[in-house]
Amino acid sequence: MKTPRSLFRLALAALLFLGVGLTACDSAAPIEDLTPADPFVTYEVNFDPSSFQSAITNPFFPLQPGTVSRFEAQKADGLEVILFEVLTGTRVVAGVTATVVRDRVFVDSVLVEDTFDWFAQDRAGNVWYLGEETQEYEDGVVVSTSGSWEAGVDGARAGIIMPAQPTVGQAYYQEFYEGEAEDRARVLSTNEAVTVPYGSFTGCVMTEDTTPLQPFVLEYKYYCPGVGTTLEVDGDERVELVSVE
């Protein structure tokens, strides 16, 4: 989710889960009390570059270099196609060698967004999101880079995209760059059944995704074992996994 810079300050919030490497302040609100309207409290991120491994093998967010996943959604302005490509190259971000993913969005075959995302997995199995470089297009011209951020630059901090052992009630920031990228997630279920054009899956993790920058936006995402992201639901719109090559 991308928005212009906010006028208010929100610090990276409280709460995570055991074993994920984030330490909350004593004043942190309980997980069950955190809602999109709640003020978040500060916590310190225990981000240790020496604790990371080279491969991303978390079953709910595996990233195998050379893999291209295709997602489709019927939107009001046409057929949206998302190509999620795990590149073979890497990038060093905040002292960590990260896997690079190219995420391109097309509407009726016209490129509207081209993003490079950076992910890495620590040895405990948590997958971290280290930043993104994004460009939005109109008529073939870049019109915005809003939402771009890099951990360790200008106050931006890494977040968790998938815990090592997702547990109902876990809540965490997926990214944090004040006013630009403040997506967060809460685990609602770890035993969902999902059917998309690519196939049917069980034992999937379901998260509720929000951001204080767009308090009325609510998305549900489904991550299935061995596949990763499979389905995103935003109101009546479904972004579905169609193929993996």
Q: For the chain, which residues make up each domain, given as ranges?
A: 22-244
Give 177-225 pLDDT, tens digit per residue.
888 888 989 999 999 999 999 999 999 999 999 988 888 889 999 999 9
User: Beta strands of the chain (E only): which ranges?
Assistant: 22-24, 43-45, 52-53, 68-75, 78-93, 96-107, 110-122, 127-138, 141-144, 149-150, 157-162, 171-173, 175-176, 184-196, 199-210, 219-224, 228-234, 237-244
Class of the CATH-defined domain 22-244: mainly beta
Sign of the four-CA dihedral 217, 101, 95, 154: negative
Give 13-38 pLDDT, tens digit per residue.
333 333 344 433 332 333 334 444 44
The first and second tokens of residue 41, run together, are: 């409290």
The pTM assigned to this predicted structure is 0.83
